Copies of this chain bind each other. A is one copy, B any other.
Amino acid sequence: MISLRMATAHDADAIWAVLEPVIRAGETYALDRAMPREAALAYWMGADKQTLVAVDAAETVLGTYYCRANQAGGGAHVANCGYMVAADAGGRGVARAMAEDSFTRARAQGFTAMQFNFVVASNIPAVALWQKLGFAIVGRLPMAFDHPTIGLVDALVMHRAL
C-alpha cells in the first residue's frame, strides 16, 4: 500500500536518500550533479513548493514529489510538479501513485492544467508514463539536455488539463 502525505522537516534524510542518486546520475533532471545536500533540499522543499512523500505501511519513504505554480501572474493557473522514486522502489507504481495524487491536489487548489517543462526525451519510461496519464507533448527542445553517457538529447514539454 502506497500513501501520500505532506513532507516535514523530519523527512529530510529520507528525501535526500531519494534525491541523491538521481541527482548524482544526472540522467533525468537538469540539476548540477555535484549539488550538495542542503542546496538540493532547499530546492526540492522550497517555500514556493508543496512537497510530499510516498510511504508504505511501515512509513518507509518510497518517493517524493513537489508541486508549485509553474508561472506567476497570468500563468499561475498551471501547476508544475517533479517526482523522484527511491532507487529500490521501482516497478511498484510509486510514480503513478504520486502523479495521480498530484493531479487531485492540484485540481483541488484550483489549478486547471499541469505542465512539465523539461522531460528528458531519453527517459523513455517517464515519457511513456506521462502519456499514459494523459499528458501530450506540446514542445520539443532540441538538444537541450547533455546526458552523461548519450550526449545531447532533446527535452520535451508535456501538458495535460486537470
CB-CB under 8 A from A118, the residues of chain B are: 71, 75
CB-CB under 8 A from A30, the residues of chain B are: 71-76
Tell me the nearest residue of chain B to A158, going by C-beta: B139
Identify A148's interface contact among B26, B74, B147, CB under 8 A: B74
A: contact size bracket: 20 to 34
- What is the total number of copies of this protein in its complex? 2
Q: A75-B118, A75-B146, A138-B139 are in contact. List 19 more A-B contacts (CB 8 A).
A: A30-B72, A30-B73, A30-B75, A31-B72, A31-B73, A32-B73, A32-B76, A71-B118, A71-B144, A74-B147, A77-B146, A78-B141, A113-B144, A117-B117, A138-B142, A141-B157, A141-B159, A142-B159, A157-B157
